[in-house]
Structure 1
Amino acid sequence: MAEAGGFADGDLEAAGLRLSVSDEVATVTLARPERRNAMTGRTWEALAHVGQTLPESVRIVIVTGEGSTFSSGIDLNMFRPGGVEGETSLMDRVADGSADDAELDRVIARYQEGFAWLRRPDIVSVAAVRGHAIGAGFQLALSCDLRILADDAQLCMKEPALGLVPDLTGTKPLVDLVGPSRAMELCLTARTVSAAEARELGLAELVVEEAQLDGAVDDLAAALLAVPREAASATKDLLQGAPARTLQEQAAAERRAQAGRLRALAAQAARG
């Protein structure tokens, strides 16, 4: 891996990202088509920056890739001597002993921030996937709440085949979606999953013809925006916490959330 330096405003394009905001919808585009939208440490820090600076008005975040591919995953130059131009090579630092375990933990945690924010309860994130979503690209799609795939989409958890583990927060949602045995099979064979199989496995909410992908994403965003923001946020929070709770604990969480919603609706009615 390669270690990127501090991130500043205005550097999104240099990091291979493009951000557009239209009212309550933000679109984050992986924009390195000449590298099939391969990502580097700088890209992941840029993703984290987007999450940290996202306007409060945004409710829906769409993540997509420029051109015919979502993302080919990690930029393999990160594993070559010298790494990626403009970024300090973490692999070189590991080789020469200048990066200890604490430093590796710190750097990888920073990269993970670029993925983790997509699960925030105040937004709904949607991955719009056409073409390949490989390795880090697959993990980015898994970081989103919902995934719509073009019928030409192909998913692959490539990291084990490269001698690595998936470390960008993708293993938890993968296991949650397909179960531990299937997740193990997908990771340890590093095989490609077609759009049709992804739908069968629960990795995609919808599969459409490639030409219809943008329209399907727009339709989903409109449907999501039709639900009041506070109710959507409270419901997402409930659903995200459900797997870790017992039935009794989940019922109690529902009561607390509903009490909050009833108070909010009563206050709204009183204001007229």
Structure 2
Amino acid sequence: MTLLDKDGVRLTLDDSAHVATVTLTNPAKRNAQSPALWRSLVEAGRLLPGSVRVAVLRGEGKSFSAGLDRQAFTPEGFDGEPSFLDLARGTDADLDAVIAEYQEAFTWWRRNDLITVAAVQGHAVGAGFQLALACDLRVCADDAQFAMRETSLGLVPDLTGTHPLVGLVGYARALEICATGRFVHADEAERIGLANLVVPAADLAAAVQDLAAALLAAPRDAVVETKALLRGALDRSYEEQRVAERAAQARRLRDLAGLGE
């Protein structure tokens, strides 16, 4: 079932209504991103039925996403959108608000009621890299190549990618990847923790399908509680995490005993 199909984004639902797939649908431009695409990604998140437990993000064609459409760097920018030059001329508050709006396309993937999986093939550059980082898990084809090119353009990664990147690979390696803008190929991505799994390109869809099935095997509430525990772990002390674990387990035990609220 197709719930959305516009501005380079398609949202479909499988027959069980437990797995949603968000597809970037502009392979001719290697799924380059734009503000219109980001708004459609936000809409896709809002349209997800409550039954969805796994959301898969993929790109049509040879590349997952080659990053921001270069048209953004022209004086005219995109039709109906402020150019980067226009944004730079605005007030601090206006500029902050626009970037915050862009970031919304990258935030809903972290919701505790979903597990999100990026299926990455070919290039995942800049905004494409950050979109893959927005997901909980990354399954990569053996031709996947990640790069954070923002610094080479005189910019910084500002689409929520810095926090998960540091969490996955550590500060020093994240700095080196961002400052040099080099490509991280699939084998290295798996070795340093960027990729959960690397498979031959021809097997990518099947591998993601198998992972989605495995993620659906456990009771939903237990998975939701576990994701919330793990996501909060880095921000808590050891003792605070112990308290959170006890509270979560108490909720699970009462639920299993039929004593939940």
Q: Same fold (TM over 0.5)?
A: yes
Amino acid at match of 1:31: T
Counterpart for residue 209 of structure 2: 218
The Cα shift of 1:44 comes to 1.1
The Cα shift of 1:13 comes to 3.8
Aligned 8 A contact 1:78 1:89 in 2: no
Counterpart for residue 36 of structure 1: 30
Counterpart for residue 15 of structure 1: 7
The Cα shift of 1:34 comes to 1.2
Counterpart for residue 123 of structure 1: 114
Instruction: Give a deviation string over 1:124-153, Cα, whole Å, max 9, x none.
Output: 000000000000000000010000000000
The Cα shift of 1:90 comes to 3.4
Give the secondary structure class of the aligned counterpart of 1:267.
coil
Aligned residues: 256
Q: Does residue 170 in structure 1 map to residue 161 in structure 2? A: yes
Query: How do residues 189-200 of structure 1 correspond to structure 2 at under 5 angstroms?
Result: 189-200=180-191
Aligned 8 A contact 2:30 2:66 in 1: yes
Counterpart for residue 262 of structure 1: 253
Give the secondary structure class of the aligned counterpart of 2:107.
helix
Q: Does residue 136 in structure 1 map to residue 110 in structure 2? A: no
Counterpart for residue 99 of structure 2: 108
Runs in 1 of length 4+ with deviation above 3 angstroms?
Answer: none
Identity across matched positions, percent: 55
Distance between the aligned counterparts of 2:182 and 2:214, measured in 1? 34
Distance between the aligned counterparts of 1:151 and 1:53, measured in 2? 32
**In structure 2, which of residues 219, 222, 229 is the aligned counterpart of residue 231 of structure 1?**
222
Counterpart for residue 83 of structure 1: 77
The Cα shift of 1:162 comes to 1.1
Query: How do residues 40-59 of structure 1 correspond to structure 2 at under 5 angstroms?
Result: 40-59=34-53
Distance between the aligned counterparts of 1:125 and 1:226, measured in 2? 15
Distance between the aligned counterparts of 1:240 and 1:111, measured in 2? 23
Aligned 8 A contact 2:74 2:83 in 1: no
Instruction: Give a deviation string over 1:20-63, Cα, whole Å, max 9, x none.
Output: 11120000011111111000011111111111221111000000
The Cα shift of 1:81 comes to 1.7
Distance between the aligned counterparts of 1:49 and 1:105, measured in 2? 21
Distance between the aligned counterparts of 2:46 and 2:111, measured in 1? 11
Structure 2, unpaired ranges of 5+: none
Distance between the aligned counterparts of 2:67 and 2:5, measured in 1? 18
Query: How do residues 148-163 of structure 1 correspond to structure 2 at under 5 angstroms?
Result: 148-163=139-154
Structure 1, unpaired ranges of 5+: 1-9
